[in-house]
Chain A
Amino acid sequence: MTGSSPPGAADSPRGFLTGSRSTAGSPAVFAMLLGLPVLLWQIIFFAGPLVFLVVITFWQVKSFRLSPAFVADNWEKVLTSTAFLRALGHTLTVAGTTTVLATAIALPAAYTIAFRLSPRLRDFAVAFLVVPVFSSYILRIYAWQVVLSPQGVINGIAGLIGVEPLPLLGGAFSLQIGLLTLTLPIAVLILTFGFAGVDRTLIEAAENLGCRRGRVVAHVLLPAIRPAIALAATTSFLLAFGDYVSPLFMTGSKPPTLSIVVVDTVKSGSQWPRASVVGVSMLLILVAVLALGQVLSRRTRLRRGGR
């Protein structure tokens, strides 16, 4: 979002300064002074750790101690183990399901927010949705546990009516509830901003040409917000794929997802290289998914340019 330089970036101070000596200090030095701390910080506390994680995947464990080496042993062991492959398949299925559900639920909701609510209500809806993105995810999962558990709120109500306790917790259903709690607010936000950014004249033109609302949505709105749909879907996938809390508390980590495998392997002590292999594999999959999302949204841009 901040990647592209602004339109006016060309008038950089360097070009400007050639004419005036009045500014103290060289802008290059000043830029370094501001930029270097940021660069170093992100290298030491973000990029460094990730690079080191890749390095560890080639290390060995000798008598319970991690020792530098260059062996493909860990990769071979992990990638051929059925436990890993099963967890990978499960995680992909779960994250894929969440992506489809979150996008399908978020689309009509975002449409309603963007086109059916008054500006004040719209701003309120967005403000409301931003809160859960930045707060208390574990707590909300715990609350679902309370609601869904065998002695929980729903079964408490069911019991009052005389219905047998329902096994709500501990399956694919509760897992999706948990993951949707994580993904829906942000998916709705992304799509709402997507819809709000659509040029209204396009919609009016389609309506003037006699399109019903359904056709406007299918032929004007959805193509126009394709980048937003791709972003909402990839974000949902990313969050669901890497999540640790929902699988742990909603299904009791049975079957385990890759995040569970990572944490369990790290906690068990000496198998850092194998945990790193799982972690790096997860990152590679996410990079592939993000690239796919980019391709999906870029294709529209090309088409638009060709019009």
Chain B
Amino acid sequence: MATRILPRLSRLAQHLFLAGLFVFIAAPMLVIVVFSFDANRFPTIPWGGFSLEWHRAILEDAMVRDAFLNSILVGLGTAVLSTLLGFAAAYVDYRWRFFGKRAFVLLVAIPPAVPVTILGMAMLAFLSRLGLFGRLEAVIACHTAVASSFSMALIRLRLNDFGRDLEPAAWNLGASHAAALFTVVVPFCRPALIASFFLSAAVSFDEFMIAWFVGGVHETIPVRILNLLQGQVNPKINAIGTVVLAVSIVLVVLAQWFVGVRVGKRADPT
């Protein structure tokens, strides 16, 4: 008997542990959403009753509206540029061999590994010398330098499944490199390109250090949140947070949907 009960208990413990971890990860997000509808000024237990007051308040806050607008502009710009650069980098890596290729790939791959505090400071120092500081374009440029790493990874992964002979076949039939690229490679990569678009938008939409350092007076929404948090308790934060959370989650889920994340691929054929 005991030999059967023990493995069962162990499995139960494993599942409970995992459930606990998921609660730990999900709880903060739930807290924000729940308290954004709370009538109390300060979020705590007991709940002060349902209210849309704070959601309404953020619509009337010009700074919050501007920050949202800035974030959307920066997110869109980053998404487009990062996908273009990420595709170019992934394709160059896929197609050619050349001296310094490893360095080239690393140059695109490592920016997310550098702490954003240091990156933000360095970008501010460098860009203010170039006269690019304090503009949304600068934030877009810097976000692109970071997000293109994810774009390259997603597109490169897709290119792994791309038949090596398809392009040479197109060239043999008389297509130029450019024509083959746009009519054969790009359509094949479309899901990864779309995923890269959404994911880099999410990365930009979530990033605050670089935007804070480089953006100057142009606040994006996470920077606005950071500044609000450093002031007094502000019940609007939960309402802003709910909107921001909804946007980021939708972006990341869309990205995943187009990539089709599967864990089992290698494990299943057993």
Contact = CB atoms under 8 A, between A and B. Distances in A.
Interface of A: 1-3, 5-6, 8-14, 16-17, 20, 22-25, 27, 30-31, 34-35, 37-39, 41-50, 52-53, 56, 105, 108-109, 111-114, 116, 119, 122-123, 125-132, 134-144, 146-147, 151-153, 155-157, 160, 180-181, 184-185, 188, 192-193, 196-198, 200-201, 204, 213, 238, 241-244, 249, 259, 262-263, 266, 272, 275-276, 279, 282-283, 286, 290
A162 to B, nearest CB: 14
Interface of B: 7, 10-11, 14-15, 17-18, 21-22, 24-29, 31-32, 35, 42-46, 85, 88-98, 101-102, 104-109, 111, 113-119, 121-127, 129, 141-142, 144-146, 148, 152-153, 156, 160, 164, 167-168, 171-172, 174-178, 199, 202-203, 205-206, 208-209, 213, 222, 225-226, 229, 237, 241, 244-245, 248-249, 251-253, 256, 261-264, 266-268, 270
Contact of B263 (A44, A53, A156, A192): A192
B92 A56 contact: no
B85 A130 contact: no
Given A38-B85, A41-B145, A48-B126, A132 B15 contact: no
Contacts of B116: 242, 244
B119 A49 contact: yes
Given A9-B94, A53-B126, A184-B24, 14 more contacts: A23-B171, A37-B85, A38-B148, A42-B107, A127-B253, A134-B252, A135-B202, A135-B245, A136-B29, A140-B32, A152-B44, A160-B46, A266-B213, A290-B113
B115 A286 contact: yes
Contact of A20 (B17, B22, B171, B252): B171
B114 A50 contact: yes
Nearest to B242: A139
Contacts of B146: 46
Given A49-B119, A53-B121, A114-B263, A188 B21 contact: yes
Contacts of A275: 121
Given A2-B105, A135-B206, A238 B113 contact: yes
A147 B28 contact: yes
B96 A31 contact: yes
A153 B44 contact: yes
Contacts of B92: 31, 34-35, 38
Contacts of A10: 97
Contacts, number: 306
Contacts of A136: 29, 206, 241, 244-245, 248
Given A22-B174, A138-B229, A53 B97 contact: no
Contacts of A127: 253, 256, 261
B229 A249 contact: yes
Q: Which residue, A11, A180, A279, has most C-beta atoms of chain B within 10 A?
A: A279
Q: Which residue, B88, B116, B142, B174, has most C-beta atoms of chain A within 10 A?
A: B88
Contacts of B45: 153, 156-157, 160
Contacts of A134: 199, 202-203, 206, 248, 251-252
Looking at chain B's contact residues, the main secondary structure is helix
A266 B108 contact: no
A22 B171 contact: yes
Contacts of A153: 31, 43-45
Nearest to B229: A142
A132 B27 CA distance: 12
B144 A181 contact: no
B44 A49 contact: no
B171 A114 contact: no
Nearest to B86: A38
Across the A-B interface, give the 8 residue pairs with the lowest CB-CB distance, nearest first. Answer: A242-B115, A156-B45, A135-B248, A143-B28, A49-B122, A49-B126, A140-B28, A200-B270
A42 B145 contact: yes
B121 A11 contact: no
A6 B222 CA distance: 39
Contacts of A22: 171-172, 174
Q: Which residue, A22, A23, A200, A263, has most C-beta atoms of chain B within 10 A?
A: A23
16 contacts: A3-B109, A9-B94, A11-B168, A43-B107, A46-B111, A52-B122, A53-B126, A109-B17, A109-B21, A130-B256, A139-B244, A155-B44, A242-B118, A275-B121, A279-B122, A282-B115
B7 A213 contact: yes
A27 B177 contact: yes
Nearest to B226: A138
A165 B243 CA distance: 32
